């Protein structure tokens, strides 16, 4: 697998998990944005499958703290779990 596809897929897994855990906590994207000190629009872009906006490790860390989920759990691919 080439590095570009790998990087895109890692971001996609994290993106899906951020949205998954945020919703599981009953939190809106606006509430998450407020907790991490980012704009609502920026959080929506991170979670979007269409925009596919990449983000820094620092942002990833802040989001993991706000969600109460470790970074390694957010990076786990749950797509194939039943």
pLDDT class of 79 with cuts at 50, 70, 90: low
- 13 vs 8: CA distance, rounded Å: 9
Report the percent of the chain where pLDDT is more than 70.
83
The full length of the chain comes to 82
Contact (CB, 8 A) for 57 and 9: no
Q: How many CB atoms lie within 10 A of CB 48?
A: 12
What pTM, to 2 d.p., does this model score? 0.83
pLDDT at residue number 54: 82
Contact (CB, 8 A) for 75 and 10: yes
User: Stretch 25-48: mean pLDDT, rounded?
Assistant: 96
- 24 vs 41: CA distance, rounded Å: 20
């Amino acid at each position: 697998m080439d590095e570009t596809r790998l990087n895109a897929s890692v971001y996609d897994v994290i993106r899906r998990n951020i949205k998954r855990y945020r919703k599981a906590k009953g939190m809106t994207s606006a509430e998450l944005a407020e907790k991490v000190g980012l704009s609502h629009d920026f959080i929506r872009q991170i979670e979007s499958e269409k925009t596919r906006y990449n983000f820094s490790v620092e942002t990833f860390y802040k989001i993991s703290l706000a969600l109460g989920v470790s970074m390694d759990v957010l990076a786990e691919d749950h797509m194939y779990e039943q």
